[in-house]
Amino acid sequence: MRIAGKEINLRNLKKNDAISLFTSANDKDITRYTLLPYPYTLKDAKDFIEITKRNTRLKKAFELGIELKETKEIIGMNSLTNVDWKNKNAEIGYWLGKEYWGRGIMKEAIKLLLYFGFKKLKLERISATVLQPNLASAKLLEKSGFIYEGKLRRAILRRGKWYDQLCFGILKTELRK
Ligand SMILES: CC(C)(COP(=O)(O)OP(=O)(O)OC[C@H]1O[C@@H](n2cnc3c(N)ncnc32)[C@H](O)[C@@H]1OP(=O)(O)O)[C@@H](O)C(=O)NCCC(=O)NCCS
Look at residue 170 and tell me if it is in a domain: no
We report the CATH number of the domain holding residue 92 as 3.40.630.30
Alpha carbon of 58 to ligand 1 centroid (Å): 31
Which protein residues touch ligand 1 with a CB less than 6 Å away? 30, 33-34, 94-96, 101-107, 130, 134-137, 139-140, 143
Q: 57: CA distance to ligand 1 center in Å?
A: 30
140-159 residues labelled b (16+ CB within 10 A) or e (exposed):
bbeebbbeeeeeeeeeeeee
Note whether residue 73 is domain-resident. Answer: yes
Domain that holds residue 97: 2-124
Entry pTM: 0.97
Note the Cα 151 to chain centre separation in Å. Answer: 20
The residue nearest atom 13 of ligand 1, judged by CA position, is 104
**Rounded-to-integer distance, Cα 78 and Cα 157, Å:** 23
**Rounded to a whole number, what is the distance in angstroms from the first to the last CA of the chain?**
22
Please name the residues in contact with 50: beta carbons below 8 A apart, sequence gap of 6 or more: none
- Number of domains into which the chain is organized: 1
Tell me the H-state helices in 78-164: 105-115, 135-143
Q: For residue 85, is it within any domain?
A: yes
Q: How confident is the prediction along the chain (177 residues), in pLDDT tens digits per residue?
A: 999 999 999 999 999 999 999 999 999 999 999 999 999 999 999 999 999 999 999 999 999 999 999 999 999 999 999 999 999 999 999 999 999 999 999 999 999 999 999 999 999 999 999 999 999 999 999 999 999 999 999 999 998 999 999 999 999 999 986
